[in-house]
Structure 1
Amino acid sequence: MEVTGSEITVDTGRENYDFGLLPEVAWVQIMQYLQLKDRYSLSITCQALYQHFYHPSLWSNVKVNLTGGSTNFSLSNTYIPNRLVQMIDKFGHLFQKLTIKIFGHVSTFDDDSRLILTKLSEVCRLESLTLEAGKLITQFDISGFPPFKSDIQIFINFINNAFRLKQLNIRSWPMYPAIFTQNNLNIFNAIVKNEKLKDLESLSLFWRDDSAWSEREPLLPSPSFLMTFLPDLKKLTHLAVRSPMLNEDILTMLSSPDRCRLKLLQIYVTYSAFNQAFQIPDISSDIWKTLVLASPELEVECSVMSQVPNPELSLLLCPEVPLKSITFLPYSRCNGQIIGSITDKFMSSLKDFICYADTSDVDIELRYLVSKCSGLRTLVFHGSIKCSTVVTMATQKSGQWSKLEFVEKKLDTFDDEDGDDVDADEAIRRNEAGEYILVGLHRFHRHDDNREETIEQMSSVVSGVMGYKWKPV
């Protein structure tokens, strides 16, 4: 490849192509796929690409990642790397969708970092703001050092200065009582005070859209506190909360005829049998019926983080809930009884079933799920499953799947159903090598010499169903 002036020439061996003749829109779309450092490396290859580097659309969606303190029991600093300072200073006025994430605890900003973030809050014209202000705070963290007021004020400034914001995501916030009780440092009070945020359409509070572990019992705003500002946000069509923040009063308020119709409600389920604040909220079916009647297009998405007993989960997910999607996170509980219950109650509404939990012996229930849920389009299952079950489910909805995902190392290539060849009264037996094994664990002692071939055959069938080369992860 040769770069000369504004020409970018590639010798393919047959003919030279001048990619510098590509229109600006093509180069901008290419740059949108690149990380910032790679985009900059590309921009310094020639003058034409350097000009494209400044295109406004490349700076409308920006993520600023910072590293805070590893613990809050000692004072530490949060610095913004110099390259980010320069980027914010030069392009901050173009930001429309901004994500600010601090890894670890919110710690003290240096003067330069505080100055540039304050300036950014004044010049950007945000339509979407996502704040992940450090790790979620628990009772254990309260005895550590809370952030300084000046550091909290940096984030509050983005709320105070917002005037066209439509989407606000607060993934985490330092919920120290000493800060939360001060009105000028309470981010939720800032939302109420800014009259221009009355037009907010989407509000997400402490929701996570990934499968990473989250604190099990973080300090959260109570349902009664949410009622101090949610009623004023009458244009909300999307609300995401954690289950301890939800109660009948909130759903009744969302059913009010003077509000916009709710289209999406996301519930992040955190449960603890030993903490009254983290019990599953008891919401009657009549309350759900009223909400659905007020918002006929409503869809509910649920993510289950902790191990919730089936009776408790059923208390929240009653048949009247228009459940569109359910996700079981890695440390949650998902068994055959739960899958069967979900199938029976939501066969007409469920579109996405996702399970990252370590689950086994649910092949029959999964096949039942796929056969009964006519609208199911996404199936992600990271537990143990038979290859024959994968093929059966894939072909059952041929041409309808949006996503199928299974883990290769969890695939069982044997076709026998739970060891039909095993005597139910046997506890110990000899295997083919003459070794004694526990009958209940016989599947873990088996070895399939044709495993790779069986998985390849399965992948070939699923590829034909999906319309592209598919393979397990």
Structure 2
Amino acid sequence: MEGNQSIQKIYSSDWSTIPEMVLVEIMSYLPVHDRVNAGLVCAWWKECFKHPRLWTKFLFKFDTNTPDEAKAISSIDAYCSLLQDVKMYLNPWHSVSRDRAIYALNEMAWSPAKKLKKFAFHFTGFNPIILDSTGILNALKNLFSQSTGTEFLLRLRVIDLTGCNIPFDDELVSIIANNHPYIRILKLQNSCYYYYVTPKSILELVKKCHHLEELDVFCASLDSEVIETLGNDPDCAMKKLRLVCNSKSRSCPAVLSDAWAVLSNHGVQVTIMIESSTPSAIVDEILCENIPLVNLRWDVMYEPDARTMFRIAEQYNNTLRRLEINNGLSTSPATTDFQQTLELIVLKCTKLTHLVVSLPLSANTVGDILDGRYFEEYMLRCFRNDTIESVTNQI
């Protein structure tokens, strides 16, 4: 009897008595529109809805035309000043979602007390064939501009725009350089065909942002002066430099070997991703001596030139840790020259711990590569008995 009374007491309890810590924890797992609805249950739930913890780290998703998205942004006016770590995902196909994302960006920009420390913006899916990206780009520029005093300038540490597939320009980089001297991580690589960030704005960035630790850009955005400026800075904080090389790289001269030599003294780790659209002559210019190259991903339409492979073995034997060569179209064994130079890279580059090669190799080459050598990760394709099989240590 007492047990039944206890159960009845639990079920008749007032929901408004749920402890704040418990209710805030539950709300933190809800999508934004569900959280808004939960805040309408009673005065206590509405008070918990305002808890700073729920707004410190926030994920916006704008990928439908449903009214739920309108609910999600209805509370931005009141709480965007609490946002510190924001990720925003946008489906660019929906004009309503684009407008709502721009609205959210502008509300954050106009907040009188921005506390933003980390910001990421990504597209979900591909861009429409015709997309006017001016509104999104201008909203980003407004967000990063000095509009509300100096506290925001001292807080922002991370900007990740790798999934924001719109044409960035020098003005955007200049705004970041002039307004956020304590920025630590800046990622500007995307999949947009057009890209208007030149070495001029990147030079301004590295001159004014001495705390920059990681920079992700296209090779066309760098020149020797940028690299030398970083190398000659006694307080250089740069740890990771990620570069993408593609057909756009023709528009800018490659960084010279002497400039890389200056930077290599700071312990910077360089990652280079070469897209299949990159002409072989550009690849030869970019892969010069003295680059502190740690990771190399090379997407190829045809088999890589053996001379370039040989240079990789000779020039990066003390730094290279990960090598990835991708060509998913090949169904016949790679040439003897390629397989021999690949073996040479494995032999010379003693720090190499990750090897991914999609070009089919002979069974003898695969055996020679793996014999007595430890790899944290390897994924190879072996041509055996007229069939291709995968050889890997990954589950």
What is the TM-score when the length of structure 1 is the normalising length?
Answer: 0.59
% of aligned pairs identical? 16
User: Equivalents in 2 of 1:105, 1:253: separation in Å?
Assistant: 41
Which residue in the other structure is 1:413 paired with?
384
1:305–1:332 Cα contact (<8 Å) kept: no
2:362–2:384 Cα contact (<8 Å) kept: yes
SS of alignment partner, residue 203 of structure 1: strand
Evaluate the alpha carbon distance shift between residue 57 and residue 405 of structure 1 in structure 2; reply closer, same or farther with a 3 A threshold.
farther
Q: What runs of 5+ residues in structure 2 fail to find an aligned partner?
A: 1-6, 11-20, 39-47
Does residue 156 (structure 1) correspond to residue 136 (structure 2)? The answer is: no
- CA deviations 1:250-285 (Å, max 9, x no partner) are 12222233542422222110126xxxx734623322
What are the equivalent positions in structure 2 for 1:182-197 lying under 5 Å apart? 186-194=171-179, 197=180
2:181–2:209 Cα contact (<8 Å) kept: yes
Q: CA deviation at 1:174?
A: 4.2
- CA deviations 1:96-118 (Å, max 9, x no partner) are 43333434479566876655444
SS of alignment partner, residue 396 of structure 1: coil
The worse-fitting range, judged by mean Cα deviation, of 350-359 and 128-137 is: 128-137
Which residue in the other structure is 2:218 paired with?
242
User: Equivalents in 2 of 1:370, 1:323: separation in Å?
Assistant: 15
Q: CA deviation at 1:324?
A: 0.6
Which residue in the other structure is 1:66 paired with?
62
Q: CA deviation at 1:227?
A: 3.1
1:269–1:306 Cα contact (<8 Å) kept: no
Q: CA deviation at 1:93?
A: 6.0
Q: CA deviation at 1:79?
A: 8.9
User: Equivalents in 2 of 1:353, 1:35: separation in Å?
Assistant: 41
- CA deviations 1:18-59 (Å, max 9, x no partner) are xxxxxx99xx8xx99x9969x99xx9xxxxxxxx99998887
User: Equivalents in 1 of 2:125, 2:295: separation in Å?
Assistant: 26
Which residue in the other structure is 2:376 paired with?
402
User: Equivalents in 2 of 1:83, 1:332: separation in Å?
Assistant: 51
Q: What runs of 5+ residues in structure 1 fail to find an aligned partner?
A: 8-23, 44-51, 69-76, 209-213, 415-445, 463-469
What are the equivalent positions in structure 2 for 1:378-393 lying under 5 Å apart? 378-386=354-362, 389-393=365-369
The worse-fitting range, judged by mean Cα deviation, of 101-110 and 237-246 is: 101-110
Evaluate the alpha carbon distance shift between residue 54 and residue 306 of structure 1 in structure 2; reply closer, same or farther with a 3 A threshold.
farther
One-letter amino acid of the counterpart of residue 147, structure 1: T
User: Equivalents in 1 of 2:366, 2:49: separation in Å?
Assistant: 46
The worse-fitting range, judged by mean Cα deviation, of 387-396 and 365-374 is: 387-396
**What is the root-mean-square deviation of aligned Cα atoms in Å?**
4.7
Q: CA deviation at 1:90?
A: 9.2
Which residue in the other structure is 1:278 paired with?
250
Evaluate the alpha carbon distance shift between residue 116 and residue 279 of structure 1 in structure 2; reply closer, same or farther with a 3 A threshold.
closer
User: Equivalents in 2 of 1:396, 1:95: separation in Å?
Assistant: 52
SS of alignment partner, residue 197 of structure 2: coil
Which residue in the other structure is 1:223 paired with?
199
User: Equivalents in 2 of 1:128, 1:332: separation in Å?
Assistant: 40
SS of alignment partner, residue 308 of structure 2: helix
One-letter amino acid of the counterpart of residue 243, structure 2: I
Evaluate the alpha carbon distance shift between residue 325 and residue 79 of structure 1 in structure 2; reply closer, same or farther with a 3 A threshold.
farther
Evaluate the alpha carbon distance shift between residue 242 and residue 260 of structure 1 in structure 2; reply closer, same or farther with a 3 A threshold.
same
Which residue in the other structure is 1:232 paired with?
208
User: Equivalents in 2 of 1:280, 1:115: separation in Å?
Assistant: 36
Does residue 287 (structure 1) correspond to residue 270 (structure 2)? The answer is: no
Which residue in the other structure is 1:443 paired with?
none
One-letter amino acid of the counterpart of residue 181, structure 2: K
SS of alignment partner, residue 198 of structure 1: coil
Quick one: which of 233, 257, 262 aligns to 1:257?
233
Evaluate the alpha carbon distance shift between residue 447 and residue 111 of structure 1 in structure 2; reply closer, same or farther with a 3 A threshold.
closer
Which residue in the other structure is 1:71 paired with?
none
SS of alignment partner, residue 81 of structure 1: helix
Does residue 126 (structure 1) correspond to residue 127 (structure 2)? The answer is: no
SS of alignment partner, residue 255 of structure 1: helix
User: Equivalents in 2 of 1:292, 1:200: separation in Å?
Assistant: 22
Q: CA deviation at 1:323?
A: 0.6
SS of alignment partner, residue 227 of structure 1: helix
Q: CA deviation at 1:346?
A: 0.6
SS of alignment partner, residue 232 of structure 2: coil
SS of alignment partner, residue 134 of structure 2: coil
One-letter amino acid of the counterpart of residue 187, structure 2: S
Q: CA deviation at 1:332?
A: 7.9
Does residue 147 (structure 1) correspond to residue 118 (structure 2)? The answer is: no
Evaluate the alpha carbon distance shift between residue 128 and residue 111 of structure 1 in structure 2; reply closer, same or farther with a 3 A threshold.
closer
1:66–1:79 Cα contact (<8 Å) kept: no
2:216–2:241 Cα contact (<8 Å) kept: yes
Q: CA deviation at 1:128?
A: 2.1
User: Equivalents in 1 of 2:255, 2:97: separation in Å?
Assistant: 43
Q: Name whichever structure is richer in helix by fraction.
A: 2
Number of residues of Structure 1 aligned to a counterpart in Structure 2? 350
Quick one: which of 265, 283, 294 aligns to 1:313?
283
Q: CA deviation at 1:379?
A: 1.3
Evaluate the alpha carbon distance shift between residue 307 and residue 117 of structure 1 in structure 2; reply closer, same or farther with a 3 A threshold.
closer
One-letter amino acid of the counterpart of residue 348, structure 1: N
One-letter amino acid of the counterpart of residue 265, structure 1: L
User: Equivalents in 1 of 2:196, 2:347: separation in Å?
Assistant: 39
One-letter amino acid of the counterpart of residue 290, structure 2: E
One-letter amino acid of the counterpart of residue 169, structure 1: D
SS of alignment partner, residue 187 of structure 2: strand
1:334–1:357 Cα contact (<8 Å) kept: no
One-letter amino acid of the counterpart of residue 60, structure 2: V
What is the TM-score when the length of structure 2 is the normalising length?
Answer: 0.69
User: Equivalents in 2 of 1:237, 1:389: separation in Å?
Assistant: 39
One-letter amino acid of the counterpart of residue 225, structure 2: D
